[in-house]
A and B are shown apart, each in its own frame.
Chain A
């Protein structure tokens, strides 16, 4: 198989039959090239779709409270359930191992924010530093709230890009002072949200500052947590559902709320929603795999077809070689080695060109539904190997049959 003499013979044959070699090569290379592009865009669309739905963390659990609607244990309905700092601390502590990001919030909806002559109406939300990750916000300028802001109850504020564009135009807002209900806050950062403008008209302040500034004492409006993504989606969903139930039960018990009361303690779990998105991208990837497999099958059939034609075309040559003393095995291996060499070489060529194109064109694509088209190099390499092996198998049958032809029959073939 690896004798130099045989390879010399093969290279010579390939060199002397340039047209055949090039045509075979082009068909294999283009097949692989198309497959790579296809797989690339499949992952691109998947990335795009996932990003479309990634405005909030996918694994968020949020807790809000309201008024009771049912009497329970002798208590009247229409009682307001007020969460406190300690409730947040309790949940934080009790479920420490299962939670990733945590934040309580104390918000004033629709507050007047004043900067010099500009007045805007935005929601002021007092939050913890982790809130940035729960909302999946990106910091574009400056920084978000940090732990020492909370501890020292600093009068600082982080504004959304929408707020910035409405109130500051092109001016740099960092370090500027805005007033909310007459209290001055210094801007330390600007964030953007993948969810778009509707998620960017909030302004964030440290929760401790909000409680002090807006007479909140130790009240909180709600809290949000995220569950870390575990190995599989279903496992994460299971943990998150168990957490949701357990936290809900704990709070209801503490405030003596009927377990059936749905409006006094409201707990939401975004993972259930994310499940649908995951389902969609799973179907998408299934579709692309199906198309990809189809392409490979077509490629294998193509290679097999080429092999049959090559063998047919070379019948006479095979007869001559056999009359001159070629053993059947040497005929089979000659044809197969040639085929494997050509498919391997051109397959890798198609692979590199395809990957190169994705690498160059990928980042320039500006479309909401296609993002970062990429192909895992190993997947691509396996594809080439599958194509080569399957092509060789498809080529083996005609090669074997050719080796079986009696030389007189082959030589008679004019």
Chain B
């Protein structure tokens, strides 16, 4: 699903440049649930941003579901993001003046679906994350865990190839963290490829494979015995 070869990225900070990714080789097969770990500054967020086409690599190749991702202009990047990727953010990033339902329907709007279809699909995914009764509530009327579940439903709505989650539990307490992880595991069980960036060991343990990043290189990449979040819920 994801093929990355010899990926380099550096940021220019005034006169000196900061080499953040120093040759990453990494691949993810369909249906995997991978966590990317590392201390801050290890380059894990940069890697996720490149995978999410929110940022572009300086060197190396990136192939997503057989499509080489390079020389993207804004328009094509937007189209690919819409088609291939679903994002889950630490701070939820819901549009606060839109209801849960409308937030979930948003990527479908950019897919060009008609309103009726959008509402139908969005309702289906809200149901899936267990928030059907809250579909007409605004984000500020929801708890943190509920907000993140809306975000998960939104990420799923466009039926993407890969879900990218940047510290999805970073803003949640441990109980709701486990709820969200349970949801993510459930989605993975259905065959969705998911990448999670996290710095919490117990969250990483709930995935199937941990990639450890340090100073811009992968120092460890090994499968783990998955801990099911269900038992904590």
Which of A178-186, A234-242, A262-270, A326-334 contacts its partner? Answer: A326-334
A78 an interface residue at 8 Å Cβ cutoff? no
Q: Scan B75-119; emit 1 where CB is below 8 A from any A CB, else 0.
A: 100110111000101010111011000100011011110110000
CB of B82 within 8 A of CB of A408, answer: no
A118 an interface residue at 8 Å Cβ cutoff? no
In the assembled complex, the CB of B158 is this many whole angstroms from the nearest CB of chain A, namely 7
Instruction: Please give 8 more A-B residue pairs, beta carbons under 8 A apart, in addition to A323-B87, A328-B74.
Output: A12-B102, A13-B97, A316-B93, A320-B93, A322-B78, A323-B93, A326-B110, A327-B78
Nearest opposing residue in chain B for A325, CB measure: B82
CA distance A165 to B154 in the complex (A): 88
The 8 closest A-B pairs by CB, nearest first: A325-B82, A16-B97, A325-B110, A324-B107, A327-B78, A408-B54, A328-B74, A320-B93
B49 an interface residue at 8 Å Cβ cutoff? yes
Q: Can you pick out 28 interface pairs between chain A and chain B where the beta carbons lie within 8 Å of each other? A: A5-B112, A5-B115, A9-B109, A12-B98, A12-B102, A317-B95, A320-B93, A320-B95, A323-B81, A324-B81, A324-B82, A324-B107, A324-B154, A325-B78, A325-B81, A325-B107, A325-B158, A326-B78, A326-B110, A327-B79, A328-B75, A328-B78, A329-B75, A403-B74, A407-B54, A408-B49, A408-B54, A411-B93
Report which residue of A317, A324, A330, A404 has the largest number of chain B beta carbons within 10 angstroms of its beta carbon.
Answer: A324
Q: Scan A1-16; emit 1 where CB is below 8 A from any B CB, else 0.
A: 0000100110011001
CB of B79 within 8 A of CB of A5, answer: no
Residues of B close to A406: CB separation below 8 A: 54-55
A contact patch SS? helix
CA distance A317 to B112 in the complex (A): 19
CB of B98 within 8 A of CB of A16, answer: yes
Q: Scan A39-68; emit 1 where CB is below 8 A from any B CB, else 0.
A: 000000000000000000000000000000
Nearest opposing residue in chain B for A404, CB measure: B74
Q: A17 touches which one: B97, B106, B112, B158 (CB < 8 A)?
A: B97
Give the number of A-B contacts (CB < 8 Å).
Answer: 69
CA distance A325 to B110 in the complex (A): 6
A414 an interface residue at 8 Å Cβ cutoff? yes
CA distance A319 to B94 in the complex (A): 11
A321 an interface residue at 8 Å Cβ cutoff? yes
CB of B110 within 8 A of CB of A330, answer: yes
In the assembled complex, the CB of B81 is this many whole angstroms from the nearest CB of chain A, namely 5
Q: A325 touches which one: B55, B91, B111, B115 (CB < 8 A)?
A: B111
Residues of A close to B52: CB separation below 8 A: 323
Residues of B close to A407: CB separation below 8 A: 54
Nearest opposing residue in chain B for A15, CB measure: B97
Residues of B close to A321: CB separation below 8 A: 95, 106, 110
Residues of B close to A414: CB separation below 8 A: 91
Residues of A close to B74: CB separation below 8 A: 327-328, 403-404
**A residues 380-414 touching B (CB-CB < 8 Å):** 403-404, 406-408, 411, 414
Nearest opposing residue in chain B for A5, CB measure: B115
Q: B114 touches which one: A5, A317, A327, A408 (CB < 8 A)?
A: A5
CB of A324 within 8 A of CB of B110, answer: yes
**B residues 3-47 touching A (CB-CB < 8 Å):** none
In the assembled complex, the CB of B193 is this many whole angstroms from the nearest CB of chain A, namely 18
Residues of B close to A411: CB separation below 8 A: 89, 93
Nearest opposing residue in chain B for A20, CB measure: B97
CA distance A414 to B92 in the complex (A): 12
CA distance A58 to B111 in the complex (A): 71
CA distance A322 to B106 in the complex (A): 11
CB of B54 within 8 A of CB of A324, answer: no
Residues of B close to A403: CB separation below 8 A: 74
CA distance A322 to B102 in the complex (A): 16
